[in-house]
Amino acid sequence: MSDSSTKTGASRRAFLKGAAATGAALGAAGAARAEDDPLITEVQDWASGFGDGVDATPYGLPIEYEDDVVRRTVEWLTADTISSINFTPIHALDGTITPQGCAFERHHSGAISLRKEDYRLMINGLVDTPLVFSYQDLERFPRVTRTFFLECAANTGMEWAGAQLNGAQYTHGMIHNMEYTGVTLRTLLEEAGLTAAGDLAGKWVYVEGADASSNGRSIPIEKALDDCMVAFKANGEALRMEHGYPVRLVVPGWEGNMWVKWLRRIEVMDKPVESREETSKYTDTLADGTSRKWTWTMDAKSIITSPSPQMPITHGKGPLVITGLAWSGNGAITAVDVSLDGGVTWQEARLAEPGKPMALSRFYLDIDWDGSEMFLQSRAMDASGYVQPTKAQLRDVRGLNSIYHNNGIQTWHVNANGEANNVEVS
């Protein structure tokens, strides 16, 4: 492996030379071809006849050849599909924005269909005037547009017990990253007036959804006034039903369960409610049986999305793009390192663009793969100076009984055929 690592970052000339050698071996790119390619020399149907007219699909779906890039659940993880989860196909996506149509779903009582006309948002509790807003009211407040990741606290939760599921989609797919448009929660709270709350230190807001699960969470008012949003658009269009249409809460950098969907009520309080989702669930049991609560922040984490078990290397040795995602609830990603040898040596990957606070970063490492086995790992660093830990480091502190907040380094074993498997290494 040391060979391949030292070659990385070598001159373009060396890169091309390597590619030519591989090409010759495979009879593919870069080498002389014996016969003409009929896709070029013969006139194809699509180059002669018509394609579809406009409006063939008023709202377009991905072309049929991409129909495997879809959300997938794992049926036996939950008792039924109503209170369940599925996973974003992160292995097949690139860039940083997650299309809404394949962004993972997590419902506690199913995705409800709620019309804008029937939507009401109440603000009550320690406010000067308890208010009720219609959807139309929300659209009249000063608006903001910001991009954030949402990660379920249980993302990668199966992997506490070892290497369980074979694919980035299943191990790390409870995440999405969207550009949200809406109103800051601060704007709405100030419209109701916070004088009645007195000294804001130690105050909370309770946020609650309109669906039958009544999912509710207590959030410190500092966070509520800092960067939370009441969002009604994502990636430029209305939220999807499964993501809380018409209105959801955005709680940047904090666990997805707090991003209450179908948001119907915001209450200012002098203490937390201690609801089901902040006591019996979304708490982290340590080795001695004590449990952490209020573990809201999603710590820095990264994953190589390709190559990965669902994305084997099919082109043989030579130029290979290693790519993945990194994010942190504690600020912007500052760097991502990649190891080809299971964490013995590391090299810095290229960020597609400078990291943005609490949003996904895309990284690339372009290597000349020599065809030998690799133990691929990635490691994220964030603006707070935090370095993504190994699974072993996390287990040393927390034991083996955690479910949530597994941000340990993932390993993919890539064999000489280019197939990848989920493993843990020494």
Partner 1 sequence: MSKFPKFLMATAVATLTAAPAIAEKLGLGRAATDGEVAAWNLDVFPDGSNLPEGSGDVLTGETVFSENCASCHGEFAEGVDNWPKLAGGDGSLADEDPLKTVGSYWPYLSTTFDYVRRSMPFGSAQTLSDDDVYAIVAYILYSNYLVDEDFTLSKDTFLEVEMPNADGFIVDDRAETEYGSFTNRCMSDCKPGPVEITRNVVFKGDPNAGADADEVQTTAPATTDEAAAPAGDEAPKAVAFDADLAEKGEKVFKKCKACHKVGEGAQNGVGPVLNGVWERTAGAVDGFKYSKPMMAAGEGGLVWDTESLSGYLANPRNYLKGNKMTFAGLKKEADIEAVLEFLKSHSQ
Query: What residues numbered 351-380 form the site for partner 1, per CB under 8 A?
Result: 375, 379
Q: Which residue lies nearer to partner 1 by CB, 100 or 421?
A: 421
Cβ within 8 Å of residue 371, ≥6 positions away: 316, 317, 416
Query: DSSP assignment, residue 136?
Result: H
Cβ within 8 Å of residue 280, ≥6 positions away: none
Kindly state whether residue 416 participates in binding partner 1, applying the rule CB under 8 A: no
Q: Are 264 and 248 in contact (CB under 8 A)?
A: no
Q: Which residue lies nearer to partner 1 by CB, 18 or 125?
A: 125
- Least spacing, CB of residue 260 vs partner 1, in Å: 14
Question: Can you tell me whether residue 290 is helix, strand or coil?
Answer: coil
Kindly state whether residue 166 participates in binding partner 1, applying the rule CB under 8 A: yes
Q: Which residue lies nearer to partner 1 by CB, 97 or 336?
A: 336
What stretches of 47-100 adopt beta strand conformation (E)? Answer: 84-85
Q: Which two tokens stand for residue 347?
A: 């090299």
Q: How far apart are CA 144 and CA 150, in angstroms?
A: 18
Q: How far apart are CA 220 and CA 66, in angstroms?
A: 43
The only residue of 7, 276, 315, 395 in contact with partner 1, by rule CB under 8 A: 276
Applying the rule CB under 8 A, the residues between 177 and 206 that interact with partner 1 are: 186-187, 190-191, 193-195, 200-202, 206
Q: Which two tokens stand for residue 171?
A: 């191990």
Q: How far apart are CA 340 and CA 338, in angstroms?
A: 7
Applying the rule CB under 8 A, the residues between 214 and 273 that interact with partner 1 are: 214, 216, 220, 222-223, 225-226, 264-265, 267, 269, 271, 273
- Least spacing, CB of residue 283 vs partner 1, in Å: 7
Kindly state whether residue 72 participates in binding partner 1, applying the rule CB under 8 A: yes
Q: How far apart are CA 287 and CA 395, in angstroms?
A: 9
Binding mask 12-51 for partner 1 (x = CB under 8 A): ----------------------------------------
- Least spacing, CB of residue 74 vs partner 1, in Å: 5
The only residue of 8, 141, 315, 319 in contact with partner 1, by rule CB under 8 A: 141
